[in-house]
A = this chain, B = another copy of it.
Amino acid sequence: MTKKKTASVSLKRNEKPKPVILITNDDGVTAPGIQNLVEAVKDLGKIVVVAPDKPQSGMGHAITIGQPLRLHKMQREDNIETWSCTGTPVDCVKLAVDKILHRKPDLCLSGINHGANHSINVIYSGTMSAAVEAAIESIPSVGFSLLDYSIEADFSGAKKYARIIVEHLLKQKPDKHLVLNVNIPAIPEIQIKGIKVCRQAYAKYVEDFIERNDPHGRHYYWLTGEFVNFDKGKDTDVWALAHYYVSVVPVQFDLTNYTLKKKFEKIWK
């Protein structure tokens, strides 16, 4: 097993150690969102990008068990060390730590996702699952998502707030299991009112499936859905985003429901 160090690395003799920042996403290594995230923070540390070679939206916390994984080093104009990976976002984090960095980075950033990951989407999102995986491995992490699916989305507001949040975390020693789910409204940067710390809204897609026949007459279903907010609270991420704030939800990976635990302890003693 590879031994993992946690201290920052020196790049050159006499050079001040820079924090190592791992960047991944779920839209794939060539998506504009990840490029914008790299640009937003590239002077804040040694950046290493390890991201899927194809879109992996909705992969949740999937890992690849039954197949081998491959890594390919990519050439980039800005010389940022970049690898494409055949696996899921969570696979990318695992491989980056064990086989590329051979240590834990100081911070893991995921995104900037093309599309919202607020409310229940945190559970389906490959972007957020990569961040959660990092935190499970004791690497503080942040997932960023812009509420705009367009390939030509304006990332200026997202970049600004990503940098503010990363600078804040690098100045202090964040909790090793920290995960922040950051969503940025799709409005001009100047209209964003600031950052709001929130809870996850109970809002979700109410599913339906399109039913069609394929060219060979065989029936198929295709997932679609309508987004519905069932949560009227003013302390949620959905509320904050609708009111022009960047939403920040601290996320946990202890899924124990302690309220129900107490209830069931009375039944099964």
Indicate whether A260 reaches chain B with its CB closer than 8 angstroms: yes
Is A260 within 8 A of B123, CB to CB? no
Is B63 within 8 A of A223, CB to CB? yes
A260 interface neighbour in B129, B168, B178, B223, Cβ under 8 Å? B178
A256 interface neighbour in B61, B94, B98, B250, Cβ under 8 Å? B250
What residues of B have a CB within 8 angstroms of the CB of A168 in the complex?
267
Whether A69 contacts B175 in the complex (CB less than 8 A), given A123-B61, A251-B256, A261-B197, comes out as: no
Indicate whether A194 reaches chain B with its CB closer than 8 angstroms: yes
What residues of B have a CB within 8 angstroms of the CB of A248 in the complex?
264, 268
Q: Which segment, of A6-14, A39-47, A106-114, A205-213, faces chain B?
A: A205-213
Indicate whether A20 reaches chain B with its CB closer than 8 angstroms: no
Whether A62 contacts B65 in the complex (CB less than 8 A), given A123-B255, A200-B254, A209-B99, comes out as: no
Is A64 within 8 A of B68, CB to CB? no
| Interchain nearest-CB distance for A195 vs B (Å) | 4
A254 interface neighbour in B55, B70, B199, Cβ under 8 Å? B199
A123 interface neighbour in B68, B91, B132, Cβ under 8 Å? B132
What residues of B have a CB within 8 angstroms of the CB of A252 in the complex?
255-257, 260
What residues of B have a CB within 8 angstroms of the CB of A63 in the complex?
58, 60, 124, 223
Indicate whether A95 reaches chain B with its CB closer than 8 angstroms: yes
| Interchain nearest-CB distance for A108 vs B (Å) | 15
Indicate whether A162 reaches chain B with its CB closer than 8 angstroms: no
Is A199 within 8 A of B258, CB to CB? yes
Is A1 within 8 A of B208, CB to CB? yes
Whether A197 contacts B124 in the complex (CB less than 8 A), given A94-B207, A220-B68, comes out as: no
Excluding A58-B62, A68-B222, A194-B268, 6 further A-B contacts by CB distance (< 8 Å) are A58-B63, A61-B62, A97-B207, A199-B256, A250-B256, A251-B255
